[in-house]
Structure 1
């Protein structure tokens, strides 16, 4: 088939389509190559701050940029996982006279130079393969760096016959420019440059195969299993594409024209494991980065990492780690070389329910779209039937993201919620910008705002009373005022990610403040009582077994006391315990709630009590392949039930962490406001608008 072009010449349509396809592929290849440039800058940011020791990475970075702490941590755990795999291979093959490392899609990685300088590459030849353009740029950087040249020693720059591939060849270092989709060419070039398929070989692929179409990446995996008689294949890449964080992750790479192909057919650890076994590998093990960090990073090293820079993005850190795996496939004499067992007692729960219980969710109908409702790390409180006040957090501010200090109102009128923002009117400016604070609604239309932070080094010290005069209930007639409260007595240490609940003891009203974290303490286990009549810090006796220190837990009023559930403990492990602070003759007593069926440990969730049932909404867990969307715990029987949320009516990823929620008892609904966070290097995601969860019948 052919057609005329503008000049009258006859053009083959198939030839034109091939040229167009070639151009599209070239654009995608360039985008994938661009991920190398971004990745190397992030790696060097992490190295400069002392997370990982690599004195040679700077030779491959033209412009340095300090990345956010979350990104630094993400690249740190990646570097440690790969480094662990390399050292396992080197140690277990030390007795061999020849060994090989083959890095596929190596980019500007400096592992050869780092290991060569430390004397760890005895009898090891390292091969690095990447796109010809990437390899040419890397070769130029190497040749212009005397320190790198001396480590390689004598080398030749050549192009293998008929291949046209740039090859920088030293005694124990080979840098090859080959497109990995060209398997026959890859094999020929490697053989021509001395690859020995009979000696122990470690193949390494860091976020490379997933950029290739499944047929091409599977061909690489099969070729490697077929070519080498004794080998280990180590892969680091993304998993779990379908949950909200995974959707944001996929959108990010799609926008970069770097689609993550493997996620569709191989979305999880088990699918990845079966893939390698089906392609000819004899053993395959894989764990996600949460499992690696908990089980393979020593406690002393974790403590060192905590001291490097202020950090308070636990939710996004754990979510990022749950969406990346380290995989080890092996065969031959190296069949048992690198095993990756999950940490002891690190049980992964699965919500494998044949007919999962489901909860409907639908968009909250608002009169007008209000960008101020897009926020996280904020607070919401029901101050009167169908009137919700929202304060603080991080979200949209004058067209950009930042910390917020405004107060927003949501008032239900019929089936519609009307929304407004108080901005900085009157005394509202006293609120200051704060995140992860508490806002407790009292019975007199007041809210007590306590704690919070502006940064992990700057806790907020003031205690405020937010007064809401609701008038006739019309949103235009509600007035807000703020007053700073001077408290007497010994105040608790400044904190955030805590809870504050109103309790009554011997006829007096108190604000019970529990847990949280501070500048120095990763998790607090103390509690305090504030007398709400004279605002004095009071001592009330509390007996019983003390709960584990925690933050980002939930607290609900129950049977005259407070029910504490979940949270993140001192070791950054989510907790699955529930404690009841119940009234006693002398004051209160802690009592652990024993459950017949345990619930998935979590934190950054919200909770409500309805008819002696504890409703846990959302949160983050590192012990589950699925995000625990809703859990219902019968406090009478101790049984728990997990529910999935039907999000068909929500056209954007609904993130249920760092959110707030309000129980609407009459409607049997939960109003969820805000939620989301900074999703690693994929951008900030804020839930677009409030949603309503329709609760099942609870008796």
Structure 2
């Protein structure tokens, strides 16, 4: 900002400019305060559904609103991380005669009332600080509720000099209204209200420091390190601003006029750790929320959470968790009180950034923009040369988001692709809404659609056969017909997030259906063969080491069999295993492909095989500081190479999950259609148009 040096005014700034800046800052402060109102509604939704036990949150909202399962889970893991920190502090300091909790930017948090009601605040004084307007509203809500006032008990009549900043003063609860950028005034107010720098203190900041300019937030961190002799500073806030999810996250807060300042200079865990150490803290540890959920939430508790409401947004859940951290900085007697370390089996992997390999990505040249190309959880299939069929998924429809029906065709003429929608013509009406299904093309421009769901409680059971008559190759000459197949024999259980791949056994084509999930089972580990001649379910012997249960994996036809890679396992941990189901004289045999090099576990990716090279495109992981953009695995040697994608030619964040892709062999390109999803509470991001990845020439 012009005329700014740190957080102070530069010499020569006019009084008019100062007033303008103060007005702008006031507007930003109001916007930041607004995040409290949204947050408390989400916290209340999460608690009311049984994720977290806190009956006091509803006292701070006028009306409860049920949030989406993804948001409920996000606020649940935040509450658990903060609660874990609180209890570590309370247990470690139980023998002390006086202890303190200082919540900075407390908003409408119910921490004091929850802990007081459960009898956990013996010898503890809780101080809460926030903007005066927020604190005034909170004080009014508290005073109007008898159960709150009974927990606070006797009000202290001793008034500090700055009594305008003190809104509630109980024996063990102080509610203070002050701008934290005024660090001297903050310190004076806290001292006057009884804060004791010599006794053990927990400082808590949940998505607060990042809204402050770096100089101001660093001043708070430095002040706390100097002021308290024995303390822990716990911080929960955003990280990783530069990947596509991080870009959407930043855009959201910028749009709200609540810029996340800390992300520029302190974008990741290591930068945050070094920041606190440089400001005077003796120890500092931090992990992202994937690491916290994996290592600090018991398995029984995870199973309980999974049963609370239907959930099928794994990609967005893991992406959200990878973009938030929980940090503990400590000093003095509390130096070892709270340490956040990744789980023992959680080995973070970093892509090679010293001499990275790059793949060029460019927008697909479309004759005219078509919103139907913006979708996720759909399928795409090359049904004839230069003709791509797209079905299902969730995306743009008549100006709104929703599940999509019908079919969309893309045809290539020269470098340009044309797009058209096929709706209710003839039998196309059978292409009803479905997500996370499979669409497998085979001979004579035919496709089989299997599985999918409309919601996590409603799988789609119909099996459809699509036939395409190409004509002269123009869109107007292409006709589609659809019919429902009556399969012979015992059908597999309904499922989605599975794969269906063509395999050859004794000269006959079969559809090999593997894995997925269902309404009753979080992950499936069975497989089935559908004869593509008479559409009968066949019993073909399969031996060898069975792959781990998985869904959202990839599958490619290879050497008459199928190559399975990655996926999300039974414990909701991404997998890195690769299996080849190869045909034998008497059936099929599972053979594990040993991969050397850094193969990052992933799921929700796509895959293609070219020249005995397996290309894995995108996906979601919980192990890496970088998304696994493209990985090449040499199927002859097992060697793997990671590639970054160069998106300079693309003007929007490219999300490579929940997408579909088609291999264009002649051009050595992959056409990526759709992708993206619900980015937590930051809105839905759908890739604007298809892109082309140029595959490298590797001998």
2:521 match: secondary structure: coil
1:264 is aligned to: 264
Give the superposition deviation at 1:55.
1.1
Rounded to whole Å, the distance in 2 between the matches of 1:519 and 1:596 is 36
Q: Does the CA-based 8 Å contact 1:596-1:639 persist in structure 2?
A: yes
Counterparts of 1:616 and 1:489, CA distance in 2: 35
| Matched residue, 1:659 | 659
What is the number of equivalent residue pairs in this alignment?
688
Matched, 1:328 2:309: no
Q: Is the 8 A contact 1:163 1:185 kept in 2?
A: no
CA distance in 2, matches of 1:158, 1:96: 25
Q: Which residue is 1:599 aligned to? A: 599
TM-score normalised by length of structure 2: 0.98
Does the 8 Å contact 1:290/1:322 carry over to 2?
Answer: yes
Q: Which runs of 5+ in 2 are unaligned?
A: 1-11
Moved more, 317-326 or 530-539: 530-539
- Corresponding position: 1:133 with 2:133: yes
**Alpha-carbon offset, residue 352 of structure 1:** 2.9
1:621-660 counterparts in 2 under 5 A?
621-660=621-660
The two structures, once aligned, show a CA RMSD in angstroms of 1.0
* Equivalent residue number for residue 307 of structure 2: 307
Provide the residue aligned with 1:233 in structure 2.
233
Shift of 1:422: 0.5
> How far apart, in 2, do the equivalents of 1:697 and 1:48 lie?
55
Partner of 1:693: 693
The residue that corresponds to 1:459 in the other structure is 459
Using the size of structure 1 for normalisation, the TM-score is: 0.98
Matched, 1:385 2:376: no
**Superposition pairs for residues 459-538 of structure 1, below 5 Å?**
459-538=459-538
C-alpha deviation, 1:492, in angstroms? 0.2
Distance in 2 between the 1:233 and 1:66 partners?
Answer: 32
Shift of 1:598: 4.2
Give distance in 1, aligned partners of 2:530 and 2:487: 9
Question: What do residues 82-129 of structure 1 show as CA deviations (whole Å, max 9, x unaligned)?
Answer: 000000000011011100000000000001100011011110000000
Q: Does residue 58 of structure 1 match 2:58? A: yes
Q: Distance in 2 between matches of 1:559 and 1:341?
A: 44
Q: Deviation at 1:427?
A: 1.1
CA contact (8 A) 2:166 2:174 kept: no
Partner residue, 1:8: none
Question: How far apart, in 1, do the equivalents of 2:542 and 2:98 lie?
Answer: 67
Deviation at 1:508, TM superposition (A): 1.2
Equivalent positions of 1:148-547 (< 5 A) are 148-156=148-156, 160-162=160-162, 164-547=164-547
User: How far did 1:159 drift?
Assistant: 6.1
Report how far residue 191 of structure 1 moved.
0.1
Distance 1:541 1:431 in 2: 33
- 2: CA distance between counterparts of 1:156 and 1:330? 31
In the alignment, the residues of structure 1 paired with residue 505 and residue 360 of structure 2 have an alpha-carbon distance, to the nearest angstrom, of: 39
Paired residues of 1:157 and 1:167 also in contact (CA < 8 A) = no
Where structure 1 has 5 or more consecutive residues not aligned to the other structure, the ranges are: 1-11
Give the match for residue 611 of structure 1. 611
In the TM superposition, what are the counterparts of 1:12-91 in structure 2 within 5 Å? 14-91=14-91
Asked if the contact 1:157–1:166 (Cα under 8 Å) also holds between the matched residues in 2, the reply is no
The Cα offsets for residues 434-458 of structure 1, whole Å up to 9 and x where unpaired, read as 0000000011101000000000000
What SS class does the counterpart of residue 155 from structure 1 fall into? coil
Per-residue CA deviations over 1:483-519 (Å, capped at 9, x if unaligned) read 0000110100000000001111112111000000000
Describe the superposition over 1:278-316 as per-residue Cα deviations: whole angstroms up to 9, x where unpaired. Answer: 000000000000000000000000000000000000000
Match of 1:80, SS state, is helix
Q: What is the CA-CA distance between 1:394 and the residue it aligns to? A: 0.3
Q: Provide closer, same or farther for how the CA distance between residues 145 and 162 of structure 1 changes in structure 2, counting only shifts above 3 A.
A: closer
* Cα separation, partners in 2 of 1:23 and 1:353, compared to 1, 3 Å: closer
Partner residue of 1:7? none
Q: Secondary structure at the match of 2:662?
A: strand
Question: Following superposition of structure 1 onto structure 2, how do residues 672-683 of structure 1 map, counting pairs within 5 Å?
Answer: 672-683=672-683
Deviation (angstroms), 1:18: 1.6
In the alignment, the residues of structure 2 paired with residue 520 and residue 447 of structure 1 have an alpha-carbon distance, to the nearest angstrom, of 28
Aligned to 2:5: none
Change (3 A) 1:508 1:13: closer
